[in-house]
Amino acid sequence: MNLPPSLPEENSRLKALKSYDILDTLPEEDYDELTQLAAQICQTPIALISLVDEKRQWFKSNHGLPVRETPREYSFCAHAIINPNEQLIVTDSREDERFAKNPLVTGDPHVIFYAGTPLVDDDGFALGSLCVIDNVPKQLSQDQLSALKILGKQIVNLLRLRKQNDKLKENAEHLRIEIDQRIKAQQQIDEAQQQILTSFEQSPVAIALLDEQDLTFRTANPFYGQLVGRLPDQLVGKPLLTALPELKGQGFDDQLKQVIATTTPYIATELAVNIMRQGQLETIYVDLTYQPHKQLDGRVTGVLVVATDVTNQVLSRQKIEASETLFRSLANSIDQLAWIADKHGWIYWYNDRWYDYTGTTLEQMEGWGWQSVHDPDRIAQIVALFQQAWKGDQPFELTFRLRAKNGSFRWFLTRVYPVKDHNGRVVQWVGTNTDIEQQKQIEADLEQQVQQRTEELAVSVKELAASNTELTTASAAILAANQKLEAANAYLIRSNQNLEQFAYIASHDLQEPLRKIQSFSSLLAQKYDAQLDGLAHNYLDRITSAGARMSALIKDLLTYSRINTRQQPFDLVSLDIIIANVVDTLSLEIEERKAHIEVDQLAPIQGDKSQLEQLFQNLLSNAIKFTPTNEEPRIKIDYFLRKRSELPDGLRPTSNAQQFHQIDITDQGVGFDQKYLDRIFQVFQRLHAKSEFTGTGVGLAICERVVGNHGGSITAISRPGKGATFCVYLPRIIS
C-alpha cells in the first residue's frame, strides 16, 4: 500500500480547513441530501463528504457507510486532494498498487471502485472530496462525472455559507447584517438548487420536482419526460395524476404524500411501473428515490424525484435466470453428474445426480468442498490441475475417481466448458462427470488379455522351436523343405528392397517353394502314412496349415504392393456397380451367414475399378467376419457429399478437391476401442486372436492404400460390443 504524499502547503490547507469549524459536527440534512443524490446518480451504495485533517479523514456525510472517520493513511481522498483540479477515478483498486493492500480494500467495506471530486475553497485549497464508492469494478459516464463535480461545488457553497453564518453568529451586534446574509444565503441556496436542476437537464437520470400542493410538477428534465412518454412541457404545472393518469391505483401518489408528511426519503429498486408510452401501456422497471425538498426553516415544500430506467437490466437478468433454470432442469435430467462454478472456480450448484451418487449436501460441497469425495492419494494433483485450468479460458478434461455414498470409488471423465460474456471473458464454468468405470475395467481386462496372449505366444514360440528341432531329426525330406522355405524367406526379405519386382517375386519365387512344401507334405503323408506316428502327422498338419497361411499372406501382400505401384489414369466408375459386383463375389459368404446388406443410392466417381472393388470387398468381408457367429450380420452402406471443411479433424487427404464422396459401411459386430484407430490400418496389426477371427492383418492396410492412392482418407468410429462404422472419403473430381 502506497501512503499519500505530503502536500507542499499542507499547513496552510489545514488552517483553511479548520477555519470552517466543521470537523466533528453533527450530521446535517443539506449535506446528507447531496450524498444521497450523488449515490443515486452514480448508482453506487456509498457516497461520502470526506474532509482530510492531519491524521484522519472525517465524514461530514456518510451515506451507506456506518463509520464517521478512518485513518488518513488508508484514505483514498488523501490521494484525491493532491491534484485539486482533477477528479480521482479508481476503476478497480485491486489492480492499483497504491490501494491493492489497503485494509479498506481487502476488508470492510471492500472499496473496489472509487470516484472523488476535490472540494476546493476560494483560496484553491482542497479540503477533502465528494466521493462515491462501490464494492465491484465500475465506470462512470461523462454525464455522471459532470454531475458529481456540480454536487462538489454545491458542497463548497454550503461550506462557504456555513463559514459566513459562523461569522455572523460571532457578531451579534450586526444582527441586521446577519439577517441580510441569511436571506442572501437562502437565495444562494435557492439559486444553487435551481442551478443543480438546470444542470440536470442533460443528466442521464430522470429528475422532477413536485410541489406539495396537489403534487403538481414544478419542473422535469428531458430524461424524465422520455421515461414517462411525455414532453416536459406536457407535465409542468399539472398534478401528477392529471399529467400521468395511468399511475392512478399504483400507489405512487400515496407514497409521495407520505414522504411530505413524514419528511422521510423513500428509496426503491427495480420497481415495476405501468406507463403509457407512444399510445401503449408498457411495464418498465426503475430505481426510484423520493427526497423531501426543504427550505432553510425545515419546511417541506415538495418532493425531488430521481428515477433511473433499469428495464433492460431487469429483463436481461430475468432471461439469464430463466436460462439458468432451464439449464438446471436439463442438467437434472441427464445421467452425468453436473455442476456450475463462478469464474474463479467456486462451485455453487450441483445437479441431483451428484447428490444421489455422493450422498452429500450443497453445504458440504459448496466452493472447494468437493475435495472430500476425491481419491485422497490424488487430491493434491487434482486441485493443482483445476487451479491451473481456472486461470485460462479454454475447455479441459480430467480423469479421476470419485467416492460414492457407500464408500466405493468409481472412475469419472470430467469435461469442463467456459461460459463467456459478449467481451469473451469467462463468467462461469460448467462441468460434467461421466462414469467410465466400465471402460476402465475393459481396458484393464484388455491389458490382462494382451499380457496373457504375450505369454501364450512366448510358449508357442518355444514349442515351435522344439517342433522344428524334432522335425529336423525326424525326416530328411522335411529338413530339405525347411531349407528351401528359409531360402525363399531370405529371398523375400531381399526382394522387399525393390518394390517394382515384388509382384513377380511374390507370384513366382515365393509361391513355387510353398507349393513344393505343400506337395512334399502331401506326398509324405500319402507315401509314409503307415510309417509315421501321431506326432509326425501333427508336424505335417502344422506345415500344411502354415503353408496355407503364408500363401494367403503373400497374396494379400501382392495386392498391397500392386495398389501402391499402379499409376494408370482413373476412369469414371459407378459405385453402385462396384458394390453389386462385391456383393456377388461374397454371395456364398453372405448366404451362409444370412447377412442383410442395405445400400444407399451411390454416386459415380473417378477411380480404379479393380482397386475400389478390392477396397469395398475387404470392408464388407470384415463387417461379416467380425459379427459374432451366433448373430445375423446387418450392414448398412450410406452415401453423403461433403465439403472439404466438413471433413473430420485429423483427416489429411492428399487431393486438393473441395468436395468429397463419403461412403459409410456400418455393422453391428464386435467393434473395437477407439484408441486403437491408428493401429488397425497398419500392416500385420490385429486386435483379435486368430482363434477368434481369421485373417492376415493386411486387409485394412490395403483399404488405406487404395483410398490414399485415390487422394482420399479413411477412418472409423467404434465402441467395443457396439459395432463399427468405416468412413471412406474419396475426392469428387469435376471434369
| 181 or 192, higher pLDDT | 181
Q: Is the pLDDT of residue 2 over 70?
A: no
β-strands 217-220, 113-120: how paired? unpaired
> What are the domain boundaries of the chain?
10-168, 203-316, 334-565, 568-731
pLDDT (tens digit, 9 = 90+) per residue, 225-274? 999 999 999 999 999 999 999 999 999 999 999 999 999 999 999 999 99
Q: Is the pLDDT of residue 533 over 70?
A: yes
User: 490 pLDDT band (50/70/90 cuts)?
Assistant: low
Mean pLDDT for 373-392 is 92
For residue 41, CA distances in Å to 287, 288, 632, 639 come to 10, 11, 77, 65
Q: Report the pLDDT value the prediction gives residue 451, as an integer from 0 to 100.
A: 86
Question: Do the domains spanning 203-316 and 568-731 agree at the CATH topology level?
Answer: no
Residue 220's region, left for phi above 0, alpha for psi from -120 to 50, else beta, is: beta
User: 497 pLDDT band (50/70/90 cuts)?
Assistant: very low
Where are the strands (E) in 565-679, listed by range? 571-574, 596-599, 604-607, 634-643, 659-667
User: 178 pLDDT band (50/70/90 cuts)?
Assistant: low
Q: Quick one: which of 646, 647, 644 has its CA closest to 658?
A: 644
Q: Is the pLDDT of residue 59 over 80?
A: yes
How far apart, in whole angstroms, are the C-alpha atoms of residue 417 and residue 412? 16
For residue 116 the three cell numbers come to: 472523488
The residues that bridge with 571 in the sheet, in sequence order, are 607
For residue 467 the three cell numbers come to: 517342433
pLDDT (tens digit, 9 = 90+) per residue, 272-299? 999 999 889 999 999 999 999 988 778 8
Half-sphere exposure of 354 (CA within 13 A, CB side): 25
Indicate the CATH number for domain 334-565: 3.30.450.20
| 60 or 184, higher pLDDT | 60
β-strands 713-718, 396-403: how paired? unpaired
% of residues, the chain, pLDDT over 70: 83
Mean pLDDT for 364-385 is 92
pLDDT (tens digit, 9 = 90+) per residue, 619-643? 999 899 889 888 999 999 999 999 9
For residue 151 the three cell numbers come to: 454536487
Q: Is the pLDDT of residue 86 over 70?
A: yes
Mean pLDDT for 425-437 is 92
**671 with 690: CB under 8 angstroms?**
no
| 67 or 555, higher pLDDT | 67
pTM flag (> 0.85): no
Cell 475399378 locates to 609
Q: Is the pLDDT of residue 686 over 80?
A: no
Q: Which CATH class is domain 10-168?
A: alpha beta
Coil, strand, or helix at residue 731? strand
Q: Quick one: which of 579, 587, 605, 586 has its CA closest to 665?
A: 579
CATH for 568-731 (3.40.50.300, 3.30.365.10, 3.10.310.50, 3.30.565.10): 3.30.565.10
Single-letter amino acid code for the residue at 114: Y
Q: Report the pLDDT value the prediction gives residue 134, as an integer from 0 to 100.
A: 95
User: 9 pLDDT band (50/70/90 cuts)?
Assistant: confident
Q: Is the pLDDT of residue 700 over 70?
A: yes
Lowest mean pLDDT among 148-157, 539-548, 666-675: 539-548
User: 41 pLDDT band (50/70/90 cuts)?
Assistant: very high
What are the residues whose beta carbons fall under 8 Å from the beta carbon of 359, sequence distance 6 or more?
404, 405
β-strands 596-599, 634-643: how paired? parallel
For domain 203-316, the question of CATH label 3.40.50.460 is answered with: no
